[in-house]
Amino acid sequence: MSSTINHLHHHHRIDGQISPLTSSCPHLADFRSRNGAKPFRALQDCLRVKPPGGRAGIRREPSEVPRCAACGDSSPSRLYACVACAAVFCHAPSGGPSHASAHAASMPLGGHEIAVDVDRAELFCCACRDQIYDRDFDAAVVLCQSAALKSAITVQSSGNPENMRKRRRVDYRPWSPDVRERLLMDNGSSVLDCEIDRPRGLRGLNNLGNTCFMNSVLQALLHTPPLRDYFLSDRHNRYYCQLKNAATTGRIAAVSVVAGRGMAGMVVATTAMG
């Protein structure tokens, strides 16, 4: 991570006027008078947004755990990367110890007071011990978030439109048992007692304690035509799902076909409750 933002201090010194839309922090004003806005604009290449459209942070390897350069601590204090030298130091809020502030104070020529929150990509003054605002830095963060969101939308919409239309369409496909399934049903079924005074084919959902609302939602969902047709068309057949997974891994497991048909049977019974 340090190498990611290490190039920020290798910039040409340019003269820049203080923007009226920056914080009133004198250390930020001094930093901008020395360096202008170029370090903040270059910081855009060091940011990452995950998930797309979410909070920005300093880009680092997934296995990399940022730690304070002074004490090696990674939590619970916040970690800040110095914009001038890219060193990472911790800072404890509420007047606690701050190696970030100590680092800024140890520089005889100054210029190391401004840092960036490693996890939140927020600008921070180590001398004032407070968050600060800068227009150019905020613009860099917004541009990074917009680019990440645009990239995610492009990836999602890059699929074949024809395939996407087919994926949304759910056709009804009646189920007809094969020879093995018919044999299992004949041997494993029993004749219903027609003398019982209760509706045939209805199967309710037990209330598990404050689950009546969940039960009503589930029954309403099972009555929606797309979802109903999906199950009645035997699309959610665990026999075929496990067979497909076993084929990809080279391991074919013995799966009960009747159990795979159980979901479709439950839906048939539930839809009759409407």
Where residue 19 falls among pLDDT bands split at 50, 70, 90? Answer: very low
- Please indicate whether residue 197 or residue 5 has the higher confidence score (pLDDT): 197
Q: For 66-89, how does the pLDDT look when each residue is reduced to its tens digit (9 = 90+)?
A: 888 888 877 657 889 898 888 899
In the chain, pLDDT over 90 holds for what percent of residues? 7
- Whole-model pTM? 0.48
Average of per-residue pLDDT across 185-193: 76
Domains in the chain: boundaries: 2-156, 198-274
Question: What is the average pLDDT score of the chain?
Answer: 71
pLDDT tier, 53 (very low <50, low <70, confident <90, very high otherwise): low
132 or 40, which is more confident? 132
Which is more confident, 44 or 159? 44
Nearest to 116 by CA among 32, 39, 172: 39
Q: Give the pLDDT mean for 168-180.
A: 67
Q: How confident is the model at residue 166 (pLDDT cuts 50, 70, 90)?
A: low
Fold entry, domain 2-156: Herpes Virus-1 (3.30.40)
| Lowest model confidence (mean pLDDT) among 19-28, 154-163, 187-196 | 154-163
Query: Helices 212-222 and 257-271: crossing angle, nearest 10°?
Result: 100
